[in-house]
Structure 1
Amino acid sequence: MTGTDPAADAADLWTAREIAQQPAAWRELAGSLGGRRQEIEDFLGPLLARDDLRIVLTGAGTSAFAGQILAPGLARTLHRRVDAVATTDIVSNPHDHFAADVPTLLVSFARSGDSPESLAAVGLADTVLSDCRHLVLTCNPEGGLYRTLSGPERQRAGRSLVLLMPPGTNDQGFAMTSSVTSMMLAALMVLGGCRDIDQLADAAAAALPDLEKRARALAEERSDRFVYLGSGPLTGLARESALKLLELTAGRVVSYFDSSLGFRHGPKSVLTDTTVVVVYLSNDPYTRRYDLDIVRELRATLPEERVISIGCRDDAGEETWSFPALGHLADATVAPVLLLAAQHVALAQSRALGLDPDNPFPAREVNRVVNGVTIHALDQ
């Protein structure tokens, strides 16, 4: 990466390519899942027909935040209990999160499938619960989770189903980009019946050049503090957005997240004159009012260009960055598209700081796949 054009240099990065490939990856995903439709129905149909089924969405870091984005919408669609619980919480406190011994579908999101907590959470669920099935969404056919749960004995017994994302989504960059959006959409397709993949991919492909341009211009302002806000499913999106920035800038840009309403209750103290605030605007007309309220309040106290609103309904002219073709969809469904903005912001901020977004921690203070975790035996 020795060129003089930052945009050209960025194109050589794994992270940049993996952000750009997402629309194509989503279309490929829809095709591959369509080819397994009967197998998926045979596994999930009997489970989802059970009124007492609990669904737990789990993962670590970005994979955990994917569950936080999806859980509220899936609960509404499926009319049942859907909880997002990080593998890190399951491993440290399994009896708290599996206190009720009810039929459970554990949905594991895992880019590599090699995180110690991912494997341990599956084992703990099988140990603590008397009736547990597993749906695994992963990007790595060589990962421990894939190899463990795709075994013929488990498949024949109907105890697990492993869905592999398109090959290119096993991100080589440090931060999860195409991996997480693909896994989110896979969950929406097989659990939530989402049929909007082409529309999402079209909107994302059309927006990518503008998002890259806007993110580079924002990076030229050299802000050292960002806040991401959102409501409902978009609170989880705000959390993932903040993490992406923290990861790719190696912590040199401080990031914070909260809900649109919760931000006033103390966390607003984080604001400075140079803070950038990004507010995700809900597509739900009722929820959207609260998001717009905080946008207007912040624009009255901060320079207007430092308050960025991102949404899909441009009827009020409030969005700074807009995806108007998606204004009729649920927030969790559009979240993968909105996440492209945060990914580009993080990439541009990393490049502006002179970092390598593919390897922002060359001394390996933080690793792409977490290691060094001791999994202790469960004392029952």
Structure 2
Amino acid sequence: MIIGVPKEIKNNENRVALTPAGVNEMKKHGHQVYVQSTAGEGSGFSDEAFAEAGANILATIEEVYGIAEMIIKVKEPIEFEYDLIREDQLLFTYFHFASYEPLTKAMIESKSVCLAYETVERGRGLPLLVPMSEVAGRMSIQEGAKYLEKPMQGRGILLGGVPGVKPAKVLVLGGGIVGYQSAKMAAGLGADVTIMDISLDRLRYLDDVMAANVTTMMSSEYNIRQEIKEADLVIGAVLIPGAKAPHLVTRDMLKDMKPGAVLVDVAVDQGGCIETCKPTTHADPIFIIDDVVHYCVANMPGAVPYTSTLALTNATLPYALELANKGWKKACQESSELKTGLNVVKGDVVYKAVAEAFDLPYVPVEEYLQDEEMAV
């Protein structure tokens, strides 16, 4: 198969979807790999390193899209890329369709095959979302602590306090991978942490493994309203696979928060679980509403691209190899994990949560995975 790796062009996105080691693996299986020039620079991988691994280096993004049968990316295509995508071309990347209707409709019109990292499922887990959730969860505390500083327009409070001075209060909404990593980092810095979830079993687990300065609490609107009044830093860490995140922090709750408190919405690329959040960039990461600082960067791991690229490609490469070796249809027929990754196929929405998000027609993915002789 001919595989293309374009340079990411989303604002301050420095990750790359394939490393030289990944190129080497693809070449060992007989595939051709075309990498756009400087695609790996932000993550510390030079064109020379890719070429030594066996990649062909192309000067422009148009050339990469023009030659590739499968495009491997990190972030969803942006508007500039829409017209470069061809009918039947396979795109393997993060899409987060349910949060952005124009992207969904553009991919429908392209009649391409869109397989989303974030909806590939293994059991009840999301193996291609986990590594970036781990990075984003840890970063949420790092960024939250920074924006609590007074020069950053925060409250001017040190997350862990000092002897004789109370630490900051951190509220984490959601006990999944992001929430777990957030609470772990905040606790490690000495903060007073409360983590909420709607699953009592998950709360029992978190209560067993977390440090003594982490309190678990059942998530409900009432409890959130009470806890948010005292919180210095709130982390939105809610995920519904493939679907738009629910608003757990509503506009009217901000008036009850401390001036200079910080909200970090890690769920922003799925629509956000904080009503007042809107996607921001690393170049302009915050805005303030009702004296509350909002940090809503949609590609947080892009700020630490070396770590993020290695963590992501460790997870995606086996699946990318399977797609390249078998083709998307056979690979999805034989792998229930990849099958759940299909979101848009040749003009049809085949992932129910995406169809429901925008009231679009839904076609069961099985219709595309039948053998032709069976479909007759």
Please give the TM-score of this superposition, normalised by the length of structure 1: 0.31
Which structure has the larger Rg over C-alpha atoms? 2
